[in-house]
Amino acid sequence: MRTLIASLKLALLVLNSLWVIPLQSLLLLFTKGPAIYILPSYWHRIAGFIFGIKPEINGAPHTGGQTLYMSNHISYLDIPLLGGVIKSSFLAKSEVKGWAVFGFLADLQRTAYIRRQRSKIAEEKNALQSRLSAGESMIIFPEGTSTSGYEVEPFKSGLFSLALNDPARNMAIQPITIRIVEVNGKPPETKEERDLYAWPRDVDIELHHHLWRFAKLRGAILEITFHPAMKALEYQDRKTLAKACHERVSKRLETATIIKQAEYLRR
């Protein structure tokens, strides 16, 4: 039965992609403005509904100007999770461009890519800066990897220099904390249970196998906390800004862990 349900979910995902691809491709021929995020936002919401990915939202996305949304990263499933709530492009590692179907869909949302080779860093930053100079907002995972969601890896400060290179724009930085609440109908108590949703770098399973396994489950509930936006130019340098953002994101995870432990002791 679970295999049948998983097959149906994947079939619905394909159907969800078939309607958005031609319409979004056509739209991109005529505009590069905010309207290009409307159709992808619906795709993300529908994909989340198909796989039972339910967000519990605290706060709201910053909409008062150009923003870099800086979030911790647990899984590729974070993309439909956040994409259904925030109308913006993503910054992704270059490997995503080569993912079957997902890479093409990422292009349709004008995802920006960054390569890890040191020889390409200057080139990548220039490309990103041109996108930001055009007024685009962007969703970024500054850990540079995905984790099991126990804690937040240090943020790569180089990405925060993007907000400081153009002082005239006075860009906003909004920290976001993603926290796993439930997977397959219950709070995860072990790493193995968390990794039913999470896809960390140390997990020994290919993406398509992970997606198939997740499709057999009842879905997941994720808490998304939108912290108050920070003005980048109020910070002296990129390292100070990255640290301040990291503290806000990680503190939410730490607080939730303490609350969970207290509830367990009261049982």
* 8 A C-beta contact, residue 184 and residue 217: yes
Q: Which residue has the tokens 């039972």?
A: 52
The answer to whether the beta carbons of residues 215 and 197 sit under 8 Å apart is no
DSSP designation for 214: H
Residue type, position 68, single letter: L
What is the helix (H) or strand (E) element at residue 232, kind and residue range?
none
State percent of the chain over pLDDT 90. Answer: 60
Quote the CA–CA distance of 175 and 228 in Å, as a whole number: 7
Using a cut of 0.95, tell me whether the model's pTM lies above it: no
**Model confidence pLDDT, tens digit, residues 55-78:** 999 999 999 888 999 999 999 999
DSSP 241: H
Structural domain count, the chain: 1
Q: For position 113, what pLDDT does the model report?
A: 82
Domain hosting 119: range is 2-266
196-225 pLDDT per residue, tens: 999 998 888 999 999 999 999 999 999 999
Selected residue with higher pLDDT from 79 and 128: 79
The DSSP output letter for 137 is: -
